[in-house]
Amino acid sequence: MSKPIELLGQPDHATQTGKGWRVSTRWKERMGSFAIGGLLPVGLLVIWQLAGELGLISTFFLPTPTMIFAAFGDLFASGDLAYHLGVSLKRAAAGFAIGGSIGLLLGLVAGFSRYGEYVLDPSVQMFRMIPHLAIAPLIILWFGFGEVSKILIIAKGAFFPLYINTFLGIRNVDNKLIDVARVLSFKRYKQFFLLILPASLPQLFLGLRLSLALSWLGLVVAELIGSEAGIGFLMTIAKQNSMMEIIFVGVILFAVVGKLIDSFVRLLERRFLQWQDSYKG
Amino acid sequence: MSATNLLHIQHLSKTFQSAKGDVKALHNIQLDIQEGEFVTVIGPSGCGKSTLLKIIAGLDVHYKGTVSLGDRKVEGPGIDKGFIFQEPRLFPWLTVERNIAADLSLRKPEIRQKVDELIELVRLKGFEKSYPRELSGGMAQRVAIARALLRNPKVLLLDEPFGALDAFTRAHMQEVLLDIWQRNRTTMIFVTHDIDEAVFLANRIVVLKPRPGAIQNIIGVDLAFPRKKSSTAFHQLRFKVLSEFDKIEELELVGGAGI
């Protein structure tokens, strides 16, 4: 009983200490979860390294982590790494920008208008079912081995997740809140910015994450088909010259950069969806 | 009556079309409500009380008859008709003060001032920056009331607004609402299925009977405020409303409709 009164009596003091305490425990918690998450991969790395050093596995087929790290260091020092990674990132970004924005746009049209849905959705669903590798020969015949083909293949992957999640996000807006907007006589653009956009934001973020992930995965297909630069190119060359370490560097780069991009979007998500009241585990 | 007539309902009928055939929800409703009145609408479930309120709000425009507010026919929803739903229906991504302002800008000094006054009126000082998930059911409903009042509605329509609240919170909310009514003199039309609530708040109680929804009787309440739910006069009125319900039940049995 006395606690709330105390809090009321010294509000500043109470909130300040409250905050300081929370920050420090949260930081500790994060470090703790980081350590737990790192346990498995670090353990595996140690076993891998030992197995290579003791000659239990052939380092030709499976180079040890230190060998891979050395290859990474060489690539980094020569500037090749930055160059090829830059080329790949630019490609993925261009493909994502094109495919994602078309997906977003068509998703908005299909979401807002039932006629839009009738016209667009069946075609989009069919288009979605065409695999990258099935359409790649056509794209290459039409646009050659140049940059355009690669960006188109990436764009094709980025298109669909944003389309479907924008569409569903809009369609899942609570009708009860739409009634509120009617009762309060919101203008159309206010209804969009105050209600529909924030209400569909969680699903939009999901679309954004999936779309970015598929751009990044589409990049591999695009670059392995034939290219003169990029991480995929590095890996193709390494394959031809049996440089296992560099293939591993490529695989790891795809994983790490992909994860970093995803983490960045999740950071944005957390920042914009603070208001959400959902199960957090 | 010297007060001006605000809401005018004449020959209002409403039929729902369904696969099984047409269902008559409201039949020939005649009702006039004066400015500044507090009218409660009560009736058993299925009597069309929520439908009546939605029609007055302009949320449902497919009906026969006339409904006019002031000198204008009701043709759609608008800010002159504030509406409080059974649930608060706040925007979860907006803070309390931004929920109240909604499409109006808090950067305008006159809006800012009115929002602050309303927060004081609905007793939510200190919660301006809270999000809806941090509020209790009663607090959230008070935010919804403030949101409606900010638009200076000619009439506030309340559709069982305290139905989901516990008994203590409900009693408190009734007092908050009466306080608002006595200060602002906003015309209130309050739908409920709780007889105590209907008697406690109203100038007049409209009793509806079901199948099809029609007015059974209108009971005037001239008890002075503040009312005591334990007083004899209160109980006499309560019995009066209950006896109307008994009549409805007899009619139902005679008609063979059952409940």
Give domain status of residue A58, yes or no.
no
Predicted confidence at residue B76, as pLDDT, reads 87
Give domain status of residue A140, yes or no.
yes
Of the candidates A204, A107, A217, the one whose C-alpha atom is nearest the C-alpha of residue A155 is A217
Inter-chain Cβ pairs, chain A and chain B, closer than 8 A: 52
Q: Which residue of B has its CA nearest to A274?
A: B93
Give yes or no: residues A100 and A239 share one domain: yes
Average pLDDT of span A213-225: 86
Give domain status of residue A155, yes or no.
yes
**Residues spanned by the domain of B202:** 1-64+189-259
State the Cα–Cα distance between residues B114 and B132, nearest whole angstrom.
20
Give domain status of residue A69, yes or no.
no
Give yes or no: residues A49 and A172 share one domain: no
Give domain status of residue B160, yes or no.
no
Of the candidates B68, B31, B32, B33, the one whose C-alpha atom is nearest the C-alpha of residue B48 is B31
**Which of B53, B84, B93 is the best residue to mutate to test the A interface, defined by the most A CB atoms within 10 Å of its own CB?**
B93
Predicted confidence at residue A3, as pLDDT, reads 40
* A-chain residues near B59 (CB < 8 A): 179, 182-183
* Total count of domains within chain A: 2
Give domain status of residue B194, yes or no.
yes
Q: Does B127 touch chain A (CB under 8 A)?
A: no
Q: Which residue of B has its CA nearest to A185?
A: B78
Instruction: Categorize the per-residue pLDDT at A96 as very low, low, confident or very high, splitting at 50, 70 and 90.
Output: very high
Give yes or no: residues A163 and A265 share one domain: yes
Give domain status of residue A200, yes or no.
yes
For B5, the 3-state DSSP assignment is: strand
Give yes or no: residues A120 and A228 share one domain: yes
Say if the Cβ atoms of A183 and B77 lie within 8 Å: yes
Say if the Cβ atoms of B93 and A177 lie within 8 Å: no
* Total count of domains within chain B: 1
Say if the Cβ atoms of A194 and B102 lie within 8 Å: yes
CATH number at residue B40: 3.40.50
For A248, the 3-state DSSP assignment is: helix
CATH number at residue A204: 1.10.3720.10
Say if the Cβ atoms of A194 and B151 lie within 8 Å: no
- Residues 76 through 115 of chain B touching chain A, CB cutoff 8 Å: 77-79, 81-83, 85, 87, 89, 91-94, 102-103
Higher per-residue pLDDT: A138 or A280? A138
> Per-residue confidence of chain B (259 residues) as pLDDT tens digits?
445 788 999 898 888 888 888 888 888 899 999 999 999 999 888 788 889 999 999 998 888 999 999 888 888 898 889 999 999 999 999 999 999 998 988 899 999 999 998 998 888 899 999 999 999 888 999 999 999 989 989 899 999 999 888 888 889 889 989 988 998 889 999 999 899 999 999 999 999 988 888 888 888 888 888 888 888 888 999 999 888 888 887 776 665 444 4
State the Cα–Cα distance between residues A12 and A4, nearest whole angstrom.
14
* A-chain residues near B83 (CB < 8 A): 183
Give domain status of residue A63, yes or no.
no
Give yes or no: residues A48 and A103 share one domain: no
- Is residue B148 a contact partner of residue B89, using CB atoms and an 8 Å limit? no
Give domain status of residue A279, yes or no.
no
* B-chain residues near A182 (CB < 8 A): 59, 77
Give yes or no: residues A31 and A104 share one domain: no
Give yes or no: residues A87 and A40 share one domain: no
State which amino acid sits at residue A179.
D
The angle that helices A114-128 and A147-171 make with each other, rounded to 10 degrees, is 140
Give domain status of residue B196, yes or no.
yes
ipTM: 0.84
**Residues spanned by the domain of A24:** 2-53
Give yes or no: residues A105 and A28 share one domain: no
What is the torsion angle, in degrees rounded to the nearest 10, for the CA atoms of residue A90, residue A93, residue A96 and residue A97? -110
Give domain status of residue B3, yes or no.
yes
Give yes or no: residues A239 and A109 share one domain: yes
How many beta carbons lie within 10 A of that of residue B115, not counting itself?
A: 23
Give domain status of residue A185, yes or no.
yes
* A-chain residues near B57 (CB < 8 A): 183
Give yes or no: residues A35 and A142 share one domain: no
Give yes or no: residues A21 and A159 share one domain: no
Predicted confidence at residue B214, as pLDDT, reads 85
H or E element in which residue A207 lies:
helix A197-225
- Summarised one tens digit per residue, pLDDT across range A168-189 is 999 999 999 999 999 998 998 9
Give yes or no: residues A183 and A90 share one domain: yes
